[in-house]
Amino acid sequence: MPGSVGRMLNDTITIGPELTWQETALCAQAGPEFFFPAPGSSTREAKQLCGACEQRKACLEYALANDERFGVWGGLSEKERLNLQRTRQR
């Protein structure tokens, strides 16, 4: 599951503007093992949840911009994101 990364402000963690999509993303309701399955395990359920999420595009763009190499982000696996990056570079 994409983690909440923030900055400290008066001992309170706040989410930076690039991560505000996480506040309403469906992944916030599932555990990280759902989006980071063991090698060889299915990513089907995570992708189905992503497909129903209004924040899917923002999540995918975040993963691509930050070179997230593991897990399901924006409904795509590691290999799918790598293929998308290669296609975009052409």
Taking only the tens place, the pLDDT of each residue in 11-47 is 444 445 667 888 889 998 887 888 998 888 999 999 9
Q: Looking at the chain, which runs of residues are DSSP E strands?
A: 6-9, 12-15
83 is in an annotated binding site: no
53 is in an annotated binding site: yes
Q: Is residue 39 part of a domain?
A: yes
Number of domains in the chain: 1
Structural domain containing residue 15? 6-89
Q: Is residue 1 part of a domain?
A: no
59 is in an annotated binding site: yes
Q: Is residue 67 part of a domain?
A: yes
Task: Report helix, strand or coil for 52.
Answer: coil
pTM: 0.76
Instruction: Dig out the tokens for 58 from the structure.
Output: 């923002």
Q: Is residue 83 part of a domain?
A: yes
Which of residues 64 and 30 earns the better pLDDT score? 64
